[in-house]
Amino acid sequence: MEIPEGAFVWPQGEVPPPELRADGALVAADTPLSAVVSQADFSKLTKIPIQIFYGDNIPKVLDPINVGLRLTLDSRRIVVIRAKQFADLINKHGGQAQVVVLPEIGIFGNTHFIMADLNNQQIAAMVSDWLSQHGLDQ
């Protein structure tokens, strides 16, 4: 099975429920940008530390104003929910996954391209520390 780059992977029997989007649609977790895999394949992800970052301007709650041209904002909100669900499942199965939503830890000014933002050295230091903590800086 080919898994799309950047996709969330769910173990069989543990796919999260749909999320309500601002336009009233229910967004399933097993979309074409996700994959449902066997428990054995999913367990392979528990063997490697995973860290996922998100920047600013992602709504925290469903807001009916985020429809039409603003629907992308609400879709990003759902992506963050899915990332946290993915990390929770990895951790539940004995892995080490972390989702970092920068504004939640007091870091602002980041776009979708965190590595190219003006504070990229601060973010790089965070990644470097995390790599070191997990023995991946060799």
pLDDT number for residue 103: 95
138 within a domain of the structure (yes/no): no
CATH of the domain at 44: 3.40.50.1820
Q: Three-class SS string for 59-91?
A: CCCCCCCCCHHHHHHHHHHHHHHHHHHHHHHHH
pLDDT number for residue 1: 60
Domain that holds residue 120: 8-133
User: pTM for the full model?
Assistant: 0.92
3 within a domain of the structure (yes/no): no
Q: How many domains does the chain have?
A: 1
| Average pLDDT over the chain, rounded to an integer | 92
1 within a domain of the structure (yes/no): no
